[in-house]
């Protein structure tokens, strides 16, 4: 099933790109939130598994994918992304949702639990928690502002294999698919990022440090939540995972041994428990 592509104006008039897969309107829709430097199409395979049975909505943040670019880099700050998500929920009539948040999308999920407590009926945090390891900030910092201008998809794959050596992709075909969702041809015939590389400047302007989002995580305490942890994650350390389990004993934990940031949610060890968790939420 292919999604309907919707164009939603944020409160400042800039346009957000949203993928909307139809499903049973009686069930709580999935709200899929990507990581930085990623696009809504990352969730296409998950949507294929759940669309028809429930609605699935995924969006490109401002400056990402097919959403608008802003002249003002402060438009890319996290608090503006959270406001955009709420604008999309209002425009598409999503009063309740199950958020599936990968990396930065998980941070947005925690923020939404504070900004709009009635929105979330469930949550999935993909390799992210209330404390971010400094290695992760360094990793994204080196990547987000970089536009290599690759001459071929093979060059892009080779770079990604070096930049993200522990991402759990199983074979060459998976790496090619991942690279195609990361870069696209420009007018010069070279492959360029599918995001505005100035998002890195916005991150630097925001302080660049690792915030403590413990209070935001506590906003998830009343709702069903699953944590997917890549055990060798550059973003989510074992101490943080232990603290999350201590603070929320009913947290459902799925661990990928030896994997680094970030799981794609298509790993065999993830698909079955994730789908079972989502299917239990009406």
- What's the whole-model pTM score? 0.96
DSSP 60: P
52-63: pLDDT as tens digits: 999 999 999 999
Res. 80: pLDDT tops 70: yes
Number of domains in the chain: 1
Buried b (16+ CB within 10 A) or exposed e, 134-144: eebbebbeebb
Domain with 47, as residue range(s), is: 4-133+211-279
Can you give the pLDDT at residue 210?
Answer: 61
What's 243's domain CATH number? 3.40.50.1820
Q: Is residue 141 one of the residues assigned to a domain?
A: no
35 within domain boundaries: yes
CA–centroid distance for 58 within its chain = 9
Give the β-pairing of 183-185 and 191-193. Answer: antiparallel
Q: Any idea which of 58-67, 98-107, 197-206, 255-264 has the lowest mean pLDDT?
A: 197-206
**Tens of pLDDT along 111-158?**
999 999 999 999 999 999 999 988 887 878 789 999 999 999 999 999
């Amino acid at each position: 099933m292919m999604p309907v592509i919707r164009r939603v104006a944020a409160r400042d008039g800039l346009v957000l790109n949203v993928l909307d897969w139809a499903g049973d309107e009686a069930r709580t829709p999935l709200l899929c939130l990507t990581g930085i430097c990623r696009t809504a199409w990352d969730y296409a395979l998950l949507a294929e598994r759940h669309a028809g049975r429930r609605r699935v909505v995924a969006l490109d943040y401002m400056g990402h994918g097919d959403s608008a670019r802003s002249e003002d880099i402060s438009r890319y700050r996290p608090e503006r992304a959270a406001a955009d998500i709420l604008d999309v929920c209002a425009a598409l009539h999503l009063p309740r949702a199950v958020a599936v948040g990968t990396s930065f999308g998980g941070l947005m999920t925690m923020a939404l639990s504070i900004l709009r407590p009635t929105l979330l009926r469930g949550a999935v945090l993909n390799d992210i928690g209330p404390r971010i390891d400094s290695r992760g900030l360094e990793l994204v910092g080196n990547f987000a502002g970089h536009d290599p201008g690759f001459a071929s998809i093979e060059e892009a794959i080779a770079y990604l294999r070096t930049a993200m050596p522990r991402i759990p992709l199983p074979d060459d075909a998976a790496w090619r698919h991942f690279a195609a969702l990361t870069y696209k041809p420009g007018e010069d015939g070279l492959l360029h990022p599918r995001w505005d590389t100035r998002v890195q400047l916005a991150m630097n302007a925001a302080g660049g440090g690792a915030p403590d989002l413990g209070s935001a995580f506590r906003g998830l305490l009343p709702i069903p939540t699953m944590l997917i942890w890549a055990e060798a994650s550059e973003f989510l350390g074992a101490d943080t995972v232990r603290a999350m389990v201590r603070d929320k004993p009913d947290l459902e934990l799925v661990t990928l041994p030896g994997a680094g940031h970030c799981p794609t949610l298509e790993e065999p060890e993830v698909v079955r428990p994730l789908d079972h968790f989502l299917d239990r939420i009406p």
